[in-house]
A and B are shown apart, each in its own frame.
Chain A
């Protein structure tokens, strides 16, 4: 077998190409595009299917075959799928170490010329907005250099809340962080699970932690650490404070019973059916809630300590779409990527209750809906640059390490100091 005869992996990487440079493709040849994504939540998945249908109608010679996986399944399989000979033509990556691996192994096409040709550099706000999707060609520096993907959607994390439940507790949407914590206590006292979270999937509590950390730690420090800047540390007073608050929430029973054994799907379905007061997650879950609760669900980013506006929270462009260097039809693939990220696609995404990254052509968001609050939060914070990145981007093993440690922290099995030390240790294995 090949691997035995030399350094393993020496022949696996794709060849660095310059990629397709112009828009348009031959519409007479029959083409099948394979697409992989992890948009498995209700709203986003419906949107993707609809976009595929529209694309196939516009270009009858093209058939798109879609494979969708849940997030943890997806990250477990996409790297290998991308490096196999049947790599999908179009697939989602993830900012950070996943994209870095894809760039280093020449598995994805550079997008610079396409960005100019298709107008991507202006479609998503400013050119700087796409920085998390930039890597230097050798994959060594993040945030600058070549553009490698474009994201269809935008994400900002916050608390979905059940309006009726909140009202029944005699409360208004909290203005300060202290108000927020009081509402948790009130819910608990009334026998309502304060925060629903399905942490069997491990990442959900990660999102809860991240918005807490954004409240107590300096955003630049969080950014520097996630982007692997030398000297950055996770073991800071602010982060430890966030960790200890999360642990307290766990010990006070602010999460639903057995939350570490409940799947996110299950928790989400129960919240949609009316259980629980808050659900801290992102826009991809909006349709799951809004399709059942309609205007009965609201959204707010975690309030600041003093109640002032503009406090940082976690958010970014969502998972980028890439074109494989192994694709037989890179031009068709690029056209497809353009199609699913343009203004019309943005309208469709809104109609399915999710938040697009491009400005929509027509769809207006219902001002009473949770989506309106989500969109407002996104607009405000992305313009002000007060969005902190997702921590699991930091190293290839950070997801496992961070989320696993959070499970233990939430049950009081490790202390905040042990928690931050474990996470920092993982970081140092990559960034020292």
Chain B
């Protein structure tokens, strides 16, 4: 075969490097980034796993206990309830906003709205605020003398006034509502953008088949939003599982332990009560859980290309 022809046949589509040969210089390019990543992310992960095998107060030398910290973490009612609370937050941070986002998107997918950019900017705003700012703001909103109680009194529901963040029954949902406020904008914007990408032909085909709005939603809109759904689920579920900043600033895990979540337990045990090994174990469990969830969500929900 002529060399030129061989060259032409060898030209592979876009993602290939130039002439097909491995570029060892690539290692040099990734080295600095990888070095920093290895030292400040991978090494601590390994370190954390090591520390989790000790009983340590952070100040005096530690004592080897093997997998005890993991065993006690899994049977410790405090750890269990912390993960339960996280699950509740997942409802508020993920399930509710996604449902609302999908619902609204179904409503809106038919219309062209003027000023959508401005609305998008506003609705998305909570996402760029520091969690501490959000926590501090909502702490005042929920204050017994704050705006929410003020609003309730103003509309004649004064009997519902309560110390939202200090009441054993309402504290966790109250924190959850903060999360809903933060992530609903994200979901809405995500789905609205995603819906624009669904080809109109599919909607028309459904119309022709005689589908009503409900079937249209399940047959066209929802499947078309699978990628966005994956992103939304990942982002919101992970935010719910972390949520340290907001809880630290609003309730510090209280009242009692009603709003204690694993990330708060880690902080308390590592830095306040001197149970560093246990904290590291919980941190490892959290990391694995989040990793598994991310992979799981992507695998299950994302559209196969």
Contacts and interface: CB of A to CB of B under 8 A. Distances in A.
Question: Taking the complex as a whole, does A directly touch B, i.e. does some CB pair lie under 8 Å apart?
Answer: yes
The listed residue with most A CB atoms (<10 A of its CB), out of B44, B166, B254, B268, is B166
A3 B271 contact: no
A13 B60 CA distance: 6
B273 interface: yes
B92 interface: no
Interface stretch (A57-65, A71-79, A174-182, A235-243): A71-79
Interface residues of A, number: 38
B43 interface: yes
Interface string B240-272: 000000000000101111000000000010011
Interface in A321-368: none
Given A4-B47, A72-B252, A404-B256, A83 B58 contact: yes
Contact of A107 (B59, B167, B256, B273): B59
Contacts, number: 111
A275 to B, nearest CB: 11
A202 B268 CA distance: 15
Given A200-B254, A407-B255, A101 B144 contact: no
A193 B275 CA distance: 40
A243 to B, nearest CB: 15
A262 B56 CA distance: 35
B158 interface: no
Contact of B254 (A9, A10, A101, A202): A202
Nearest to A13: B60
25 contacts: A4-B46, A4-B50, A7-B61, A8-B54, A9-B59, A10-B61, A13-B60, A76-B271, A80-B58, A101-B57, A101-B274, A104-B59, A257-B144, A260-B167, A260-B255, A262-B144, A262-B166, A396-B274, A404-B254, A404-B257, A405-B256, A407-B254, A407-B255, A408-B168, A413-B168
Interface of A: 1, 3-4, 7-10, 12-13, 72, 75-77, 79-80, 83, 101, 104-105, 107, 199-200, 202, 257-262, 396-397, 400, 404-405, 407-408, 411, 413
Q: 3 closest pairs, A vs B, by CB? A: A261-B166, A258-B163, A261-B163
Given A101-B60, A261-B163, 13 more contacts: A7-B62, A8-B276, A79-B59, A80-B58, A258-B166, A259-B166, A260-B168, A260-B254, A260-B255, A261-B144, A396-B274, A407-B168, A411-B168
Interface of B: 43-44, 46-47, 50-51, 54, 56-62, 64, 144, 162-168, 252, 254-257, 268, 271-274, 276
